[in-house]
Structure 1
Amino acid sequence: MNQRLLHPSSVLALAFLAAIAIGTLLLMLPLSQAQGEGAPWLTALFTATSAVCVTGLAVVDTGTYWSSFGQWVILGLFQLGGFGMMTSATLLGVLVNRQLGLRSRILLQAETHSLALGDVRSVARVVLAVTVSVEAAMALLLALRFGLGYDMPWREALWQGLFHSVSAFNNAGFSTWGDSVMRFVGDAMVLGPLALAIVIGGLGFPVLHEIQMRLRWRRSQALLVARARPASPRRVRKLFSRTHLDAGLQARPVASIHMVLTLWGTAFLLVFGTLVLLLAEFDNPGTLGPLGWPQKVMAALFTSVSARTAGFNAIDIGRLSVESLNLHYLLMFIGGGSAGTAGGVKITTFFVLMLVVWNEVRGHQDVEFRSRRISTQAQRQALSILVLSAGAIVVATLALVPMTTLAYEKVLFEVISAFATVGLSTGITAQLPPAGQCILIVLMFVGRVGVVTLAAAMAASHNRRAYRYPEEKPIVG
């Protein structure tokens, strides 16, 4: 029992439970509530869980129900949840790598340029540096826009910039405004920094670290070329294109499959979501209809970004068409990158399974991508996460539907939003009965912590038997 409780995946779950408990107690204090009366335990528990799990669903209005102290507590909770998830998920990945053989670990580290295995302080330090730098930059941009463009008092502008920057980077979706960011639907100088922070936080630390390593390689090679001899830009490009070493130049680092799938998958989902939203909502008077062309594109792009676990809404989610709701189901369920602040089953999980289907259709024995073979273990893990996640959503939906008379599609939207830690809502969260809100609380926790710990547990428990049973092929399809 002690070994199970001390397993890193168990420690992660217990740490998040402890943070939720502390946050609940703080939010129940009279100091946290705007009227000084103290919040009910269910309201405090729901808000604390939503903040720690960086979801963004709320049963009360954040800006009016909670006092300044309460809002600081909420900000601290989703900052702790986002930073803790990025760090812990990365370290769990390091732990999984340590389960591999020495030769496999050396090859993996050389190919992906990952951090030193077991370097806990290095991981936390770099994650902290990335978090603080991105949040500070976006907070400054937002504060300047609020102060100069909307004549906000500078103290208020700085607070709003900080709160929404931290919320965006951590994909938390909390806003101090009752309409989220709908009031800025045509303002690219507000939606732009928010979308950029959402995407950076949602890529995941392994991808950000690999991008940093590749940029550092480019800079070091450019310095070597400059020191060797003056060369024309054309000659520099020719030198960089060589695969062998020349004048101290190192070969270009090979991009990991994880980074390629995450970056290209993110780009594809953003473009796909934007185009579908434009087509489905172009003439909808409740969403994009009243906007001009530039505002339509900006609002559709931001909605596509936010649908993948950010939780901000620039248009009224409750008035989306059926086609747009179905698109949100898909985008919310997929989510963002692994070991990041986004939720969902993760981009790599989804696209690994797409590669399995593509290679099966082509008749390939192995799942191949970019002259690499994806391991059978990774395929099984992706399939397990997808099936278990879909099962959790189905069970929760079946449990919620009899509790309310609300439309089925809105209940399903709320369930997926909670499990994928998105935070978008059609406006029915506060209308759910206490038992329904408790189901959403469990979904937020399981969707945030469960998927990561499940993936780590499956990878770490992988072992090879000394025997194999006879093979048999059941009829499929």
Structure 2
Amino acid sequence: MRAQPLARLGRVDGRSWFGQVRDAIDGLVKHSPSRFAILIFTTLILVTTLLLSLPIARAGESSVTPLADAVFTAVSTICVTGLATVDMATYWSPFGNAVIFIGMNVGGVGVLTLASILGLVISRRLGLRAKLIAASDTNPSRIHVGPVAERQAVRLGEVGGLLVTVAASLLVIEAVIAIAMMPSMFAAGYDFGTSAWYSSYYSVSAFTNTGFSPNPAGPVEFVDDYWFQSLLMLDVFLGSLGFPVIFALLRTWRKPRRWSVHVKLTIATTVILFVAGAAMFLLLEYNNPRTYGQLDASPTVFQSFFMSAMTRSGGFATINMHDLNSSSMLVSDMLMFVGGGSASTAGGIKVTTLAVLFLAAFAEARGAPAMEAFGRRIPRDILRLAVSVVLWGATIVAVSTIAIAQITKEPLDFVLFDVISGFATCGLSTGLTAELPPEGKYVMAATMFMGRVGTVTLAAALAASQRRQLFRRPEERPIVG
């Protein structure tokens, strides 16, 4: 007697259609969390592509956006890359800009963390599997070996608090920076509405490390406004630290001794690269008349620090990248390839990966049996993971560089710069990306996608299954070096 009413309510075997969808998603999460996360990211890109393809998304034009440009912009937005094939300040209508504005925030949350939040909404609770997905975003080694025993930046039981921190960080930091940018907009002559929009756009674009500019002139319009540029650097720095680090700092900012090795390595390596990068730009560009050669000493030092911060995934620039010396371009390539912190809005192989490689080299040089940092031992499987990330990243960059160099016939240093910028989701460009033919745009879009999703997540998603080997083969040592 009760079967007919249940059917009318959309229930089958006592379950609603919502429950069936939830169970189906739960099964997919159980089978492969990485593939689930990539599926969500791909879906977001497809939806954004569709929205940007609508005539209402384009400013002053009745025709639709070409597919290659819509796909590229969608990938660059969701992957928070910042590269563009169109003029972002004039090409899109208010509707298109709103899609991009929301897409930057969604993409900035991160692949696996985003999957966890959506799983939380669907399941109405953060279960163990969802926690494992979110924890993987803070510690990629869990993708391979599950919950590990060593100390983590964020423990499994704290993932719920991490997700709250993600949402709070996005809202609070972006709002505070946007308000602080308003005086600069007023000083530039914009009215209140335009100032509020530009400030909000710049704040979101900087914190998510995207690098899109809402005004036609971009940051060049504020080249003499050190307050505005300092806010951009601060916003980029906070976004590139990583949500686990922000979470830890909020809890124990008065007790540095309680910081985990991950937090200490991220902060230390970030500061070292920031200072070293500024020193290199200052040394290599101080006499370049096309960049800093016409500036006084103080502006040159400031702009060197600004450039160092932006090459770490920020994507804003007050100079033309193609005017840099070849030596400075190579330094920029190195900084972009490293990127920011793990589980952050920045891209690249991550600063902790670089730190682990240096710790391994240092331990080998000393003849130490294990890597150590801040009084803690780092297990060897982390080194294997770090090497895998670097090799996968280098392979993606190499293949994309060869493909785009063949397509465009442009100089290698320009091609390599833009490809690394795309892989590391930085957004700086020599101007090459805007001139790419359709096939080149698709290659660059694929590079941005693989760079943002993450080499570890991508490798885990492509693996058909994980094998457990119940035996050990005889050991033999090849000659290395």
Structure-2-length-normalised TM-score: 0.85
Distance 1:193-1:210 versus aligned 2 partners, 3 A rule: same
- Which stretches in structure 1 are left out of the alignment for 5+ residues? 219-251
**Amino acid corresponding to residue 404 of structure 1 in structure 2:** T
Report the equivalent of 1:156: 194
Native 8 Å contact 1:92 1:456 kept in 2: no
Distance in 2 between residues matched to 1:145 and 1:398, nearest whole Å: 42
* 1:292 to partner: Cα distance: 2.1
Distance in 1 between residues matched to 2:366 and 2:466, nearest whole Å: 29
Report the equivalent of 1:24: 49
**Amino acid corresponding to residue 123 of structure 1 in structure 2:** L
* 1:91 to partner: Cα distance: 3.5
Distance in 2 between residues matched to 1:100 and 1:274, nearest whole Å: 38
Native 8 Å contact 1:86 1:340 kept in 2: no
Distance in 2 between residues matched to 1:27 and 1:79, nearest whole Å: 16
Post-superposition Cα deviations, 1:342-392, rounded to whole Å, max 9, x if no partner, equal: 000000011101111111111112112222211111000000010111011
Post-superposition Cα deviations, 1:299-353, rounded to whole Å, max 9, x if no partner, equal: 1111100101111112211100011100011000000000010000000011101
Distance in 2 between residues matched to 1:155 and 1:6, nearest whole Å: 48
Post-superposition Cα deviations, 1:274-321, rounded to whole Å, max 9, x if no partner, equal: 011011111212111222222212211111001011111122111000
Distance in 2 between residues matched to 1:264 and 1:94, nearest whole Å: 18
Bigger drift between 389-398 and 338-347 goes to 389-398
Distance 1:85-1:185 versus aligned 2 partners, 3 A rule: farther
Where 2:89 maps in the other structure, the secondary structure is helix
Distance 1:390-1:25 versus aligned 2 partners, 3 A rule: same
Native 8 Å contact 2:138 2:342 kept in 1: no
Distance 1:94-1:136 versus aligned 2 partners, 3 A rule: closer
* 1:416 to partner: Cα distance: 0.6
Report the equivalent of 2:265: 261
Where 1:368 maps in the other structure, the secondary structure is strand
Distance 1:94-1:138 versus aligned 2 partners, 3 A rule: closer
Where 1:373 maps in the other structure, the secondary structure is strand
Native 8 Å contact 1:136 1:162 kept in 2: yes
Distance 1:462-1:364 versus aligned 2 partners, 3 A rule: farther
Report the equivalent of 1:387: 391
Post-superposition Cα deviations, 1:412-443, rounded to whole Å, max 9, x if no partner, equal: 11111111111100011121221111100000
Over the aligned positions, Cα root-mean-square deviation in angstroms equals 2.5
Distance in 2 between residues matched to 1:55 and 1:64, nearest whole Å: 19
Report the equivalent of 1:476: 480
Native 8 Å contact 1:86 1:127 kept in 2: no
Is 1:117 aligned to 2:157, yes or no? yes
Distance in 2 between residues matched to 1:23 and 1:100, nearest whole Å: 34
Is 1:205 aligned to 2:247, yes or no? no
Distance in 2 between residues matched to 1:100 and 1:316, nearest whole Å: 45
Matches within 5 A, 1:49-64: 49-64=75-90
Distance 1:455-1:255 versus aligned 2 partners, 3 A rule: farther
Distance in 2 between residues matched to 1:159 and 1:171, nearest whole Å: 18
Native 8 Å contact 1:171 1:311 kept in 2: yes
Matches within 5 A, 1:54-133: 54-85=80-111, 87-88=113-114, 90-93=134-137, 105=149, 108=151, 112=153, 114-117=154-157, 119-120=159-160, 122-133=161-172
- Which stretches in structure 2 are left out of the alignment for 5+ residues? 1-23, 115-132
Structure-1-length-normalised TM-score: 0.85
Report the equivalent of 1:226: none
**Amino acid corresponding to residue 248 of structure 2 in structure 1:** E
Native 8 Å contact 1:9 1:92 kept in 2: no
Native 8 Å contact 1:91 1:118 kept in 2: no
